[in-house]
Copies of this chain bind each other. A is one copy, B any other.
Amino acid sequence: MNSKLRPGTAETYPITDRNRAKRLHERAKYDRESVYAILDAGLLCHVAYVIDGQPYCTPTIHWRKGDWLFWHGSAASRMLRNQSKGAQVCVTVSHIDALVLARCGFNHSADYRSAMCFGTARLIDDPNQKAEALREVVDRFYPDRTSLLRPSTDQEIKATSVVGMKIEEAAAKVRTKGVGDEEEDLGLPIWAGIFPVTTVIGAAKASALIPAGTEMPESLKIYAEGRRLDDALLEAQAHYEAE
């Protein structure tokens, strides 16, 4: 039992025709812990949705609270206007961990982690829920930051739409095996191996016109120069869940 799951939440998502992996079953996982770990390690998701039969794939920033995913944007955006009415969506978060060079073309690959989540997007239009979500989109990434900020104006709140989706089904896929050549190809005089890939944080650059004496808060030091972004995001999520 994963202690992070809310009481009454099953460990595993239902497996249906929608989320069942059609191939490479050994890479697929349907448990919430695996799915959450991939979602929480990223801030960029891609949302697939349909308008008049046409699929769209929009990148946006997501955050997770329990079994809900949230994203937000301009009230005028095509995606959010469409999803306000309650739309089927598929939200995917992916991380590339290594390029994999094998001894034949067929076995070239990549190590990766991805989570594909299905549900119905809904506009968060209750004013209290929306205000909470607009705090959380900041505080989930930057612990306690909204308490330090200039408060949002009514106009800013009105100009922003927040959409939420309960994750109905999900599938995680994880490949970590590096080079997976056929046994009979091992020993061929061909260089094979991996190029690891990581997304890292650079040196923070302060904005102009910050008054002397206003330092970066301690809570932002989780985004230390050189650190892996996925590690920082997981730490920020742990802060958020501990509140």
Asked if A135 is at the interface of the complex by the 8 Å CB criterion, the answer is: yes
- B202 near A220 with CB under 8 A, answer no
Asked if A205 is at the interface of the complex by the 8 Å CB criterion, the answer is: yes
Residues of B within 8 A of A215 (CB): 191
Question: What 1/0 mask marks residues of chain A from 173 to 188 whose CB sits below 8 Å from any chain B CB?
Answer: 0000011010001111
Interface size class of A (residues with CB under 8 A): 35 or more
- A189 near B160 with CB under 8 A, answer no
Asked if A18 is at the interface of the complex by the 8 Å CB criterion, the answer is: yes
Total copies of this chain within the assembly: 2
Asked if A10 is at the interface of the complex by the 8 Å CB criterion, the answer is: no
Chain B residue nearest to A159 (CB atoms) is B106
A122 shortest CB reach to chain B, Å = 16
Contact of A195 with B206 at beta-carbon distance under 8 Å, contacts A94-B46, A150-B190 already known: no
Chain B residue nearest to A96 (CB atoms) is B44
- A89 near B55 with CB under 8 A, answer yes
- A202 near B209 with CB under 8 A, answer no
Within 8 A of B (CB), among A90-129: 90-92, 94, 96, 99, 101-106, 108, 110, 112, 114, 116, 118
Contact of A207 with B179 at beta-carbon distance under 8 Å, contacts A18-B54, A54-B18, A104-B149 already known: yes
Question: What 1/0 mask marks residues of chain A from 186 to 211 whose CB sits below 8 Å from any chain B CB?
Answer: 11111111111111111111111111
Q: List 10 A-B contacts (CB under 8 A).
A: A23-B74, A46-B59, A48-B48, A58-B116, A99-B223, A190-B210, A191-B210, A196-B201, A196-B202, A199-B200
Seen from chain A, the residues whose Cβ lies within 8 Å of a Cβ on chain B are: 18, 22-24, 43-44, 46-50, 53-59, 61, 74, 76-78, 88-92, 94, 96, 99, 101-106, 108, 110, 112, 114, 116, 118, 134-135, 137-138, 141-142, 145-146, 148-153, 156, 159-160, 178-179, 181, 185-211, 213-217, 220, 223, 229
